[in-house]
Structure 1
Amino acid sequence: MTSATPLAGASLWHAQAHMPTALAKRVTIVGGRGATVITADGAELLDAPAGLWYANVGHGREAVARVAYEQMLKLETYHVFGRFVNDVALTLADRVTALGPIPDAKVFWTSGGSDSVDLACKLARRHWQLEGRPDKRIILSRNNAYHGLHGFGTSIAGLEYNREGYGSDSLIPETARIPANDLAGAEAVIAELGPERIAAVVAEPVIGTGGVIAPAPGYLEGLQRLARQHDILFIADEVITGFGRTGTMFACERFGLEPDMVLMAKGITSGYAPLGGVLISPRVWARFFSSDDAPILRHGITYSGHATACAVAHANIDILEQEHLLERSAELEGVLHNAIQPLADHPLVAEVRSGTGFLAGVQLRADVPGEAVVDACLDAGLLTRVIHNNTLHICPPFVVTDDEVSFIAKTVRVALDQFTA
Structure 2
Amino acid sequence: MIPQLPQPPQLPHPDPGTGAAVKAADRAHVFHSWSAQELIDPLAVAGAEGSYFWDYDGRRYLDFTSGLVFTNIGYQHPKVVAAIQEQAGRMTTFAPAFAIEARSEAARLIAERTPGDLDKIFFTNAGADAVEHAVRMARLHTGRPKILSAYRSYHGGTQQAVNITGDPRRWASDSGSAGVVRFWAPFLYRSRFYAETEEQECARALEHLETTIAFEGPDTIAAIILETIPGTAGIMVPPPGYLAGVREICDRHGIVFVLDEVMAGFGRTGTWFAADLFGVVPDLMTFAKGVNSGYVPLGGVAISERIAATFARRPYPGGLTYSGHPLACAAAVATINVMAEEGVVENAAGLGARVIGPGLRDLAARHPSVGEVRGVGMFWALDLVRNRETREPLVPYNASGEATAPMAAFAAAAKENGLWPFVNMNRTHVVPPCTLTEEEAKEGLAALDAALTVADGYTE
TM-score (normalizing by structure 1): 0.91
1:270 aligns with 2:293: yes
1:46 aligns with 2:46: no
Q: Tell whether the 8 Å contact from 1:48 to 1:408 is kept in structure 2 after alignment.
A: yes
Does 104-113 or 192-201 show the bigger shift? 104-113
Helix, strand or coil for the counterpart of 1:278? strand
Name the amino acid aligned to 1:128.
T
Does 315-324 or 408-417 show the bigger shift? 408-417
CA deviation string 1:231-259 (max 9, x = no partner): 11001111112111122211222210111
Change (3 A) 1:12 1:278: same
Q: Tell whether the 8 Å contact from 1:211 to 1:361 is kept in structure 2 after alignment.
A: yes
| Structure 2 counterpart of 1:350, from 364, 371, 391 | 371
Look up the match of 1:407: 443
Does 96-105 or 144-153 show the bigger shift? 96-105
Task: Tell me the C-alpha RMSD between the 2 structures.
Answer: 1.9
**Counterpart-to-counterpart distance in 1, 2:288 and 2:348:** 18
Look up the match of 1:171: 176
Question: Structure 2: which 5+ residue stretches go unaligned?
Answer: 1-15, 187-204, 386-392, 396-405
Q: Tell whether the 8 Å contact from 1:71 to 1:308 is kept in structure 2 after alignment.
A: yes
Q: Tell whether the 8 Å contact from 1:155 to 1:175 is kept in structure 2 after alignment.
A: yes
Look up the match of 1:12: 30
1:85 Cα shift? Answer: 3.5
1:333 Cα shift? Answer: 1.7
Q: Tell whether the 8 Å contact from 1:151 to 1:172 is kept in structure 2 after alignment.
A: no
| Structure 2 counterpart of 1:247, from 270, 280, 300 | 270
Name the amino acid aligned to 1:378.
K
Helix, strand or coil for the counterpart of 1:211? coil
Change (3 A) 1:170 1:220: farther
Q: Tell whether the 8 Å contact from 2:268 to 2:377 is kept in structure 1 after alignment.
A: yes
For 1:114-133, what aligned pairs fall within 5 Å after superposition? 114-129=128-143
**Counterpart-to-counterpart distance in 2, 1:286 and 1:339:** 48
Question: Structure 1: which 5+ residue stretches go unaligned?
Answer: 130-135
For 1:65-144, what aligned pairs fall within 5 Å after superposition? 65-81=81-97, 84-103=98-117, 105-129=119-143, 136-144=144-152
Helix, strand or coil for the counterpart of 1:271? coil
1:419 Cα shift? Answer: 4.7
1:323 aligns with 2:328: no
Q: Tell whether the 8 Å contact from 1:77 to 1:86 is kept in structure 2 after alignment.
A: no
Q: Tell whether the 8 Å contact from 1:154 to 1:170 is kept in structure 2 after alignment.
A: no
Name the amino acid aligned to 2:454.
Q
Look up the match of 2:418: 381
Helix, strand or coil for the counterpart of 2:54? strand
| Structure 2 counterpart of 1:37, from 47, 53, 60 | 53
Name the amino acid aligned to 2:180.
T
1:350 Cα shift? Answer: 2.8
Change (3 A) 1:170 1:195: farther
| Structure 1 counterpart of 2:329, from 310, 313, 319 | 310
For 1:154-165, what aligned pairs fall within 5 Å after superposition? 154-159=162-167, 161-165=168-172
Name the amino acid aligned to 1:374.
A
For 1:214-233, what aligned pairs fall within 5 Å after superposition? 214-233=237-256
Look up the match of 1:133: none
1:12 Cα shift? Answer: 0.9
Name the amino acid aligned to 2:155.
H
Look up the match of 1:372: 409
1:385 Cα shift? Answer: 2.5
CA deviation string 1:297-329 (max 9, x = no partner): 111111110001101111101110110111111
1:362 aligns with 2:398: no
1:198 Cα shift? Answer: 0.6
1:352 Cα shift? Answer: 2.1
For 1:177-188, what aligned pairs fall within 5 Å after superposition? 177-181=182-186, 182-188=205-211
1:156 Cα shift? Answer: 0.8
**Counterpart-to-counterpart distance in 1, 2:101 and 2:448:** 47
**Counterpart-to-counterpart distance in 1, 2:105 and 2:394:** 51
**Counterpart-to-counterpart distance in 2, 1:411 and 1:92:** 38
Q: Tell whether the 8 Å contact from 1:343 to 1:352 is kept in structure 2 after alignment.
A: no
Look up the match of 2:6: none
**Counterpart-to-counterpart distance in 2, 1:247 and 1:62:** 23
CA deviation string 1:57-110 (max 9, x = no partner): 1112122111111111111111113xx332221222122112211326211000
Name the amino acid aligned to 1:147.
H
Q: Tell whether the 8 Å contact from 1:86 to 1:307 is kept in structure 2 after alignment.
A: yes
TM-score (normalizing by structure 2): 0.83
Aligned length: 401
Look up the match of 1:132: none
